[in-house]
């Protein structure tokens, strides 16, 4: 599947929500419809698009159809994004370093207060 058609399939928020729910594991149409506040026919329509585009697989079990997320289209998006990953990874690393430093500063500021309270308790 071409990356542009992958993005076309995922352009609708309802399909993104279905993919997100299926990330947690297989679901029936009824479970997805109820969980997302959709009618069953509307959920089926979106699941058909996701199935036809390769995002989900379906298996019949008695009267139910179970839909499951397929990783291949998402891997394709991941491969397409790989050359751009440097743009946010270095920023996220810097953010992580800053958050770690802030947490260490907070811990250092809180430590004397805790020790003082412990000393006061000992005096009682």
Q: How confident is the model at residue 84 (pLDDT cuts 50, 70, 90)?
A: confident
Tokens standing for 93? 């690393």
CATH of domain 6-69: 1.10.10.10
Distance CA 122, CA 116 (A): 10
Whether 113 shows a pLDDT value over 60: the answer reads no
At 118, is the pLDDT very low, low, confident or very high (cuts 50, 70, 90)? Answer: low
pLDDT exceeds cutoff 80 at 23: yes
Confidence of residue 6 (pLDDT cuts 50, 70, 90): confident
Length of the chain: 124
Average pLDDT (60-79) is 91
pTM for the full model?
Answer: 0.66
- Dihedral angle, C-alpha 23, 15, 88, 105, nearest 10 °: -60
Answer yes or no: are the C-beta atoms of 38 and 32 closer than 8 Å.
Answer: yes
The full set of domain ranges for the chain reads: 6-69, 71-106
Which of 37, 46, 54, 42 shows the shortest CA–CA distance to 15?
46
């Amino acid at each position: 599947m071409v990356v542009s058609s992958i993005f076309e399939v995922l352009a609708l928020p309802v399909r993104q929500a279905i993919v997100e729910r299926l990330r947690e594991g297989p679901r029936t149409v009824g479970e997805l419809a109820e969980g997302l506040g959709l009618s069953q026919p509307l959920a089926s329509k979106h699941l058909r698009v996701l199935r036809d585009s390769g995002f989900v697989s379906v298996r019949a079990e008695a009267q139910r159809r179970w839909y499951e997320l397929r990783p291949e289209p998402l891997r394709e998006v991941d491969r397409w994004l790989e050359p751009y990953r440097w743009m946010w990874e270095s920023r996220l690393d810097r953010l992580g370093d800053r958050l770690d430093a802030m947490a260490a500063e907070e811990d250092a500021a809180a430590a004397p207060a805790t020790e003082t309270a412990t000393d006061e308790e000992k005096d009682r």
